[in-house]
Amino acid sequence: MKLTPRENYLRMLNHEIPEYVPSSYDNFRDMVSEELLTPVFAPGGKVITSFGVEYLGSPEFGYGATPNPNKIICPEITEWDKYIIKPDVSNRDWEAYYKAQEGRWDRTNHLLSIGGSDYWLTAVSFMGFENTVIAMYEEPDAFKEMLEYVSEFYLEVMKQEIYYCKPDLFGMMDDDAAYHAPFFSLDMYREFFKPLQQKHIDLAKENGMLVTRHDCGKCEQFVPDWIEMDVRAWNPAQVSNDLVGIKKKYGNAIALEGAWDSQGELGRADCDIQTLKDALAVYVDTFAPGGGFTYSAHLSGVDQKDPRVIERNKVIRDFYEDYVRNYYIDHGEY
């Protein structure tokens, strides 16, 4: 292969055919760590955010961070300014904080990414799910004021990351949908969240960065807006969405990083091997043509030390090496 993982992934993000199909096996991206933003993990079982939100994690779920539903820090949206206070970072040594991470970054072979703009998740962490939805309907002005206040802080953190780290990517994220339905309408997205996320995207693009999007669940209603906002890739693009229709309509305008059905038979430790191989072939032949695809097949939610899981993960990895990696060369697209 002539291209580094960095160069190859950039080709995909720029709507070109990459030399080889990007995959979860090729590390093409390093992440800037920022403790002031929403945590992804709660190692040890608990972490307190810079806004005072308690996140919990458990070994059964890989210590993924989830707000403690029994600790609401903003019980009344009309009095949000009594409870939501921006962290004081006036004496923070931003340069030293980021410089300490440089040893983990490979700027030659990997892209450097920062993340954020999770305004829905932030509101839920402050108020709980039900109170957040009610506030959007009953007190929209106060809800917007709170988010705009938080946005000032999030954008300041992003500016510091850009200044000291010179990142290549901005990973916009907000899990605003369940597996079978979004949590709110497209109109509500455009009213409350899109304008704030657009500020992050504008800042990213002003600094030569490309934008990706993380959103779990059935969030396909937002895809046209993401494309209009110049989002280049979407993960995990779960199969509860009409991914075949999206691929047909938009081609490689937005890359599908995922699109693998791990919820049913294909995600089980006892999945039939031939069934798995057949499904992998359909998966790749459906989403790889024309570019805009990252191979992300896996078994999830199962014991990764189970010999059956190890065997099937090897099948998935071998299929990538044997059939997928050189797909564009073998099919005359590169």
Per-residue pLDDT at 300: 81
CA–CA gap between residue 13 and residue 212 (Å, rounded)? 9
Residue 274: per-residue pLDDT: 97
Q: CB–CB of 183/133 below 8 Å?
A: yes
The pTM of the full predicted model, rounded to 2 decimals, is 0.95
Report how far Cα 146 is from the mean position of its chain's Cα atoms: 24
Give per-residue pLDDT as tens, 171-199. 999 999 999 999 999 999 999 999 999 99
271 to 5, 258, 263, 283: CA distances (angstroms): 31, 19, 12, 16
* Domain segments of the chain as ranges: 1-31+260-334, 41-259
Judging by beta carbons within 10 Å of its beta carbon (0-12, 13-18, 19+), is residue 144 exposed, middle or buried? Answer: middle
- The top-level CATH class assigned to 41-259 is alpha beta
Residue among 144, 248, 153 nearest 200 (CA): 153
Taking all residues of the chain, what is their mean pLDDT, rounded to a whole number?
96
Asked if 40 contacts 63 with a C-beta cutoff of 8 angstroms, the reply is no
Per-residue pLDDT of the chain (334 residues; tens, 9 = 90+): 799 999 999 999 999 999 999 998 889 999 999 999 999 999 889 999 999 999 999 987 788 999 999 999 999 999 999 999 999 999 999 999 999 999 999 999 999 999 999 999 999 999 999 999 999 999 999 999 999 999 999 999 999 999 999 999 999 999 999 999 999 999 999 999 999 999 999 999 999 999 999 999 999 999 999 999 999 999 999 999 999 999 999 999 999 999 999 888 999 999 999 999 999 999 999 999 999 999 999 998 788 899 999 999 999 999 999 999 999 999 999 9
CB contact burial 57-88 (16+ within 10 A = b; e otherwise):
beeeeebebebbeeebbbeebeebeebbeeee
Residue corresponding to tokens 């191979």 = 295
Distance between alpha carbon 260 and the CA centroid of its chain, in Å? Answer: 15
3-state secondary structure of 2: coil
